[in-house]
Amino acid sequence: MDTAQTLRRARQAAGFSQRDLAREAGVAQPAIARIESGGVVPRVDTLEHLLRACGHNLEVTKRAGAGVDRTVIRRLLRLTPRERLDLAVAEARNLDAFMTAAGR
């Protein structure tokens, strides 16, 4: 998560200047500027407070793809286009043989 970009977008979506957000959230404007510039990373509760002042919520969700074994993907990405095509043909033949054996 890019904290600086998240806060900036929320603030702009709310139609606030940094000064407006500072007044609304009770946080010094230079502190907001430092966060938005990436100079500091705020504590989670500070970010949540600032986002709420902009009408947004901070939500924790499971990251897409978490727990996925990427070793096969990486191996396939190292193949040349020709090797990928050859593999696709071989896999199609395997699938056809399987479907025939399964009587489908």
Mean pLDDT, rounded, of the chain: 94
Q: Which domain holds residue 13?
A: 3-53
Q: Is residue 41 part of a domain?
A: yes
Q: Is residue 66 part of a domain?
A: no
Local structure of residue 60 (DSSP, 8 states): -
Residue closest to 47 by CA, chosen among 58, 31, 55: 58
What CATH code is carried by the domain that includes residue 47? 1.10.260.40
* Cβ atoms within 10 Å of 88's Cβ, excluding its own: 10
Within this chain, do residues 8 and 47 fall inside the same structural domain, yes or no? yes
Q: What's this model's pTM, rounded to 2 decimal places?
A: 0.61
What Rg value do the Cα atoms of the chain yield, rounded? 25
Query: Which amino acid is it at 56?
Result: H
Q: Is residue 91 part of a domain?
A: yes
Count of domains forming the chain: 2
- Judge whether residue 1 has pLDDT over 80: no
